[in-house]
Amino acid sequence: MEYSALIFDDCMDETDSYENLEASVQVFQKDDRCRQIVVSCSTEWLLKLAQRPSPKMMMVQMADTPYVALLNGLKAVSQENVVVVGLSHIVDREKLDTMLCELEQYPAIYYNEDLQAFDTRLLMFSLQLAIETNVQIDSYAMAVEKLSNTPLQKI
């Protein structure tokens, strides 16, 4: 299954680190199924990452408001499936494989706050509905959970 990786984090937690960002990018670079890596995080980290560009990678500046940040990150995604990761942990290839396997059966998979997978259309629909109805959300998982008829499959 081909997918886009969306590394999305405000970089404010103690456990978030630039090293985790670099390591996660490497995991996705080595995965042939990953067609695109979208990185949306702090400007400082994006500038450091931009010094070593990659053909698969696209960088999106993190916006100040949750709606705009979530929408901008997702608008850059080009594949029908997206794996969303944060920066508190390094992406584990085994967990990633499990997520993608589950995503073939179900459109919204939740492992933890730093690892989720979605059908991109479901995610875009949920974000659009959140904007139209002015529902407060601060994560992709929250948008799907609150606004779609598709509950998150937790693994």
Query: Model confidence over 68-117: pLDDT tens digits?
Result: 888 899 999 999 999 999 999 899 999 999 999 999 999 999 999 899 99
Buried b (16+ CB within 10 A) or exposed e, 51-78: eeeeebbbbbebeeebbebbbbbbeebe
| Residue 40 belongs to domain with CATH number | 3.90.550.10
- State residue 13's pLDDT score: 84
Band of the pLDDT at 12, cuts 50, 70, 90?
confident
| Domain encompassing residue 125 | 3-154
pTM: 0.93
User: How many structural domains comprise the chain?
Assistant: 1
Judged against a pLDDT cut of 90, whether residue 148 lies above it is answered with: no
Band of the pLDDT at 58, cuts 50, 70, 90?
very high
